[in-house]
Structure 1
């Protein structure tokens, strides 16, 4: 599979071509089988039986203590048998596969597969994205497009992801068209995710957060009406009887400095933990889990308190 193009190129394609972004930081897990939705219903925070057939949905898989193993986008491609694609941060894919692998043997009708090497991910943005997807993959249904081994889905902010099968006959042709089009760096896509408030929990952050503290409740990534699932008791108790003392914040700073460690600093201590960030001298943005406080103390990128952070929320 050829590497995704990183440089920005001028458009030499028709006006109905969107901007493309390589998604090398993301990966795909596939769960297929007659009882795949039932299996996922008992593991994830989303309502797979009632809501997933309607549209792609965010969600997470958690430990019995309610801590996020990894967060995902859930995409239902077929129902008989069910095929669900999980888009996940690449470094966390193996961790989630091992986690789900402990439970899937009890569901003999389902199979869990890592498809990261077989599918090539690209982000799409711009008003032309939907038209391009329809032209290439045909008419979509419930914000999902599918043709052969390729699939795509739309995001709530109007962007889309497309995953091209490297085994498809038209793969090389499509990649050549895309690489001769408008291709922007992966960092630009990550900025858009940050601005949308969508986090990606990588392998180093597994088991650190409850879903509410990384904003999944606000993103409609947690169902509180479904039955039991792994970690559900802790997550529901926090929702109904308490309030998370930590929440997701979008942050911006000047310059090209990057976080030296996981800490977000206050004038006298620390306030939270970095989840994702992009800093390349153009627009430095990040998502951090920050302690909620009525007095909203000043926040800093560095331990020397020389680089202030601006809250975007």
Structure 2
């Protein structure tokens, strides 16, 4: 492991889908849960694709170069089946959906040189820089045609742990299609809209919001040993919630759990491991 957090390291689990063509932005507006029409060119936002029942299929950062060119940066989801699933909804739209396996993603725990907030820097052909900073430190993510960044699993795990600390659920495939945006507390990331027009799952999302039926959300827990997404979270021996994402950076064992918003403070365990709840950090919304 290199000792300099500002040295770039590979993020091989981050992959790209490109939308291009006359109707690219219109297609994204109709399919994804964030407000793409209001996103300025040269900006990015958190977004996602839902099932008709309002369950999250995939989360991603959506980059808008212009109305005819958008990228989906997927931190976890496999882009190949996702692109194929999206293709089934193209119909007569003038949009091309392609997996960009020619691009590489790297990260550093250092301040970006040009990007700031939700404004990214660069262009598709030469590389793009994004500001992934938040409370607790600076981070820079770069998408490049070629990268010499080291494959360092420890630093990549620290990146994932930072995501979890700030409420970005790094969902394994087993957790896809299970949770609504509200259950994943994605309002903290400004990742979905309840006011835009129709998109898959929009009716469920809006009804839950406007009828005040949000009863579960994310909690950050830290264990005395490694935690595993998929395990139940128990309070004083009784079922309380479900671990949906986990990260182990060698020093901390973190997980995000979907739990009742109203709950009593009790001793917690997950998978036989003692855990304690910690507050989620702010600043990763875009």
CA distance 1:71–1:261, shift in 2 (3 Å):
closer
TM-score (norm. length: structure 1): 0.79
RMSD (Å) for aligned C-alpha atoms: 2.8
Given that 1:58 and 1:219 are in contact with CA atoms closer than 8 Å, whether structure 2 keeps it comes out as: yes
Q: 1:126 aligns with which of 102, 106, 110?
A: 110
CA distance 1:240–1:212, shift in 2 (3 Å):
same
Query: How many equivalent pairs are there?
Result: 277
Equivalent residue number for residue 99 of structure 2: 114
Equivalent residue number for residue 284 of structure 2: none
Q: 1:48 aligns with which of 36, 45, 50?
A: 36
Equivalent residue number for residue 17 of structure 2: 29
Equivalent residue number for residue 289 of structure 1: 258
* Distance in 2 between residues matched to 1:141 and 1:198, nearest whole Å: 16
Q: Show CA shifts across 1:274-296 (max 9, x none).
A: 22212254111111212223323
Q: Are 2:284 and 1:307 equivalent residues in the alignment?
A: no
Q: What stretches of structure 1 of length at least 5 have no aligned partner?
A: 1-7, 12-16, 166-170
Given that 1:153 and 1:162 are in contact with CA atoms closer than 8 Å, whether structure 2 keeps it comes out as: yes
Q: Show CA shifts across 1:88-135 (max 9, x none).
A: 13444234223312211331x1011111x21111112223xx22x58x
Residue 295 of structure 1 aligns to a residue in which SS? coil
Q: Post-superposition, which runs of at least 4 consecutive aligned residues in structure 1 deviate over 6 A?
A: none
Q: Could you say which structure has the higher helix fraction?
A: 1
Q: Are 2:160 and 1:190 equivalent residues in the alignment?
A: yes
Equivalent residue number for residue 8 of structure 2: 20
Q: CA deviation at 1:307?
A: 1.5
Equivalent residue number for residue 93 of structure 1: 79
Aligned counterparts, 1:231-242, within 5 A: 231-242=201-212
Q: 2:198 aligns with which of 228, 234, 242?
A: 228
Given that 1:88 and 1:200 are in contact with CA atoms closer than 8 Å, whether structure 2 keeps it comes out as: no
* Distance in 2 between residues matched to 1:257 and 1:284, nearest whole Å: 5
Equivalent residue number for residue 105 of structure 1: 91
Q: CA deviation at 1:312?
A: 2.7
Q: CA deviation at 1:65?
A: 0.9
* Distance in 1 between residues matched to 2:74 and 2:58, nearest whole Å: 7
TM-score (norm. length: structure 2): 0.86
* Distance in 2 between residues matched to 1:264 and 1:226, nearest whole Å: 35
Q: Which moved more, 1:57-66 or 1:272-281?
A: 272-281
Q: 2:221 aligns with which of 241, 244, 251?
A: 251
